[in-house]
Amino acid sequence: MKKKGKQKKYLYDIRNNHKLFRSRYRKNKRGIVRKYNEYINEYDNFVGSDYRKVIHYLEYGNFGKSRHYPRKNKTAYIKIPEVFSVSTDAQSAIRLLQQIYSAAHNLRIEKIVFDHSHCINLGLSASTITDVIVLAVDRYRQKQGKPLVMEGSLPYNENARNVLLASGLPYHINADTPMRYDKKQVERFETIKGTHSMSANKADETATKLTNYFNKCLRTQNMELNGEGKRILSRIFGEVISNCEIHGGDQATWYTQGHYQNRSDDFYGEMQLLFLNIGETIYEGLKKDSSDETKDRLARMMKKHQKHINAGWDEEMIYTVFALQEGVSRLRDKHVEGYQWRGSGTVSMIEMFNEIGESETGLKPNMTILSGNTQIVFTDKYKMDIVKFQEDVVFGNGERKIIAFNETNDIYKPGDSENVKKISEYFPGTVISLRFYLDSRYISSLKRNG
């Protein structure tokens, strides 16, 4: 009982303060105007006018419209489980996200109470998607004159609490909580949001910031990237972000965020990275609006797979795996400069962190791509390798980097069901979720043996 008494409440006070600032703002009190505007600016940086796009795709995908949740009168109760992670349990995570959306979108609900108290494994991806959903719907509700009141309890577990305080909902709405995360142990990467209509330099600028962030975290292990390493990593990050934007469609909103916790007692750090778009899925983007060349290649690919198609290996899964291969893009056209060799930056990034991202204590990286009803889980069992094609109906002639997720790395055979999964819950967009470790002892051993 004593332990329960130490639970900390957040969000409810900040919402009351928000109302207080708003009423005082109307009276034009000196000092209050500035503080209120600072609050709104931080809020807009994360949601802004793009809340309509987020809600559009959630509605389009019928995201959790009929998902039930505990409620009493006009209050909804959302209990965060011990594990809330897209990488670890995507299906359960989506179901909970659907509950959250269903509760927030119900105008008869006036308050949501989040209970994180027993959460031990809080994934950055699941946490950030929660924030995107809640803040987008809350902005919509404010326009309806029915803003949400939010309240909750922090995790008992220190690591989960650090993720929530440094990179979760309390941070994103500037909540005044009685607890703080340990800034000596945590490095956070500020959430960056983009849209299809933004400057082409946005992806490059974000990639540079992410590279500098990774290097800063790497320094906690007394290591750092050299000039060539920075260049390669920045290029890969840039391609991943560009792919998020391209595959998500014209109305998509993309986000990237990072969280790093240094475990001084165990001599390693844990890093989580998220690349997210709320928009069209990889499959929908390829199916709906690909170049003629890509549509032709997809038709040939499906013909090759026709004999393998069943409930566990369908068109969406085939398209999603195909999209990861070198030289594949929704916009690819050999006659258009810049689109001939759109590559496999996402897989390159995942494999790179998979290779270096183990801890000396044996902790393994956890990395996944979730899009629509398809989840791809990356392990060290299957890697991208060079395949030589000759007069191939899909890949033509020459060498391509291929990862088919099967024993023979044959792109015309189904992927391993442990690595390419069909999930019953639909996610409107794409999540690239990475959790790996920075351990100088392990990285040094790779150098010695490599």
Note whether 370 and 430 are within 8 A (CB). Answer: yes
**pLDDT tens digits along 16-38:** 444 433 333 344 444 444 444 44
Over residues 334-354, mean pLDDT: 69
**pLDDT tens digits along 273-287:** 999 999 999 999 898
What's the distance, Cα to Cα, between the start and end of the chain in Å? 53
Lowest mean pLDDT among 73-77, 208-212, 226-230, 289-293: 289-293
Identify the pLDDT of residue 11.
47
pTM over 0.75: yes
Mean pLDDT of the chain: 84
DSSP characters for 111-123? Answer: EEEEE-TT-SEE-
Identify the pLDDT of residue 450.
61
Name the residue among 215, 197, 180, 303 with its Cα closest to residue 251.
Answer: 197
d(Cα 151, Cα 113) in Å, to the nearest integer?
5
d(Cα 145, Cα 123) in Å, to the nearest integer?
33
Lowest mean pLDDT among 259-273, 288-302, 322-336, 400-414: 322-336
d(Cα 210, Cα 191) in Å, to the nearest integer?
11
Identify the pLDDT of residue 200.
59
- Rg, Å, the chain Cα set: 22
Over residues 319-343, mean pLDDT: 68
Identify the pLDDT of residue 160.
93
Beta-bridged to residue 254, according to DSSP, are 194, 277
